[in-house]
Amino acid sequence: MSHVSLKPNIMTSAICGLFCPSCTLFIATSEDSERLKRHAALLNQTIEESRCAGCRSKTKTSYCENCKMVDCAKEKGIVFCGECKEYPCAELKTFQALKPHRIDLWQSQQRIKEVGYEQWYEEMIKDYSCPECHTINSAYDMACRKCGNTPSCSYVRINKEAILNHISPVRKS
């Protein structure tokens, strides 16, 4: 997906501050059926259970379907976690600490608060787009999935070490 065709959309702006178009399952669902098949097998799920069209959509992975932040935001009548008086809560802190694609959640919430979600969304498009071909990549695409440019995007360039440590952990003897 080229960033040129992508416009700010609340349905693909996660409550926690994640940018859904950079999710590997979102990418797989919207444009890469082979990637979706591989991830479904990896997750031991059917292809349908693995599909995701964004955290606020009706088509979500089982993981996103059970997201505690979504339920919490509905109960509190907020759009993003950063609006909550309890932000950042223990649930969000735990969630953020588990995987490298969540490193920037605090910065995302701050930017949403400062400039609004539309401007933040535009910034995320730039952060996850290949500088050569403008394809949006996931945080785990070390090389651009379309043209092979390395790194795939500025997010990967900035967070490469944390991403590599997560996807290929060093085994201690």
Average pLDDT, the chain: 93
User: 143, 112, 121: which is closest to 130 by C-alpha?
Assistant: 143
CB 146 within 8 A of CB 32: no
Q: 121-157: per-residue pLDDT in tens?
A: 999 999 999 999 999 999 999 999 999 999 999 999 9
**Is 173 among the domain residues?**
no
**Is 88 among the domain residues?**
yes
Q: 10-41: per-residue pLDDT in tens?
A: 999 999 999 999 999 999 999 999 999 999 99
SS3 143: coil
Give me the helices (H) in 117-153, please: 117-128
Stretch 79-108: mean pLDDT: 97
pLDDT score of 171: 41
Stretch 81-106: mean pLDDT: 96
Exposure string of 113-128, with b = 16+ CB inside 10 Å and e = fewer, is: eeeebeebbebbbebb
pLDDT score of 172: 42
**Is 119 among the domain residues?**
yes
Q: Percentage of the chain surpassing pLDDT 70?
A: 95
Q: 51-92: per-residue pLDDT in tens?
A: 999 999 999 988 888 999 999 999 999 999 999 999 999 999
**Is 155 among the domain residues?**
yes
pLDDT score of 4: 52
**Is 79 among the domain residues?**
yes
**Is 172 among the domain residues?**
no
pTM, two decimals, is: 0.91
Give the domain range for residue 162: 3-167
**Is 16 among the domain residues?**
yes
Q: 117-127: per-residue pLDDT in tens?
A: 999 999 999 99
pLDDT score of 168: 82
**Is 45 among the domain residues?**
yes
Q: How confident is the model at residue 169 (pLDDT cuts 50, 70, 90)?
A: low
What is the count of structural domains for the chain?
Answer: 1
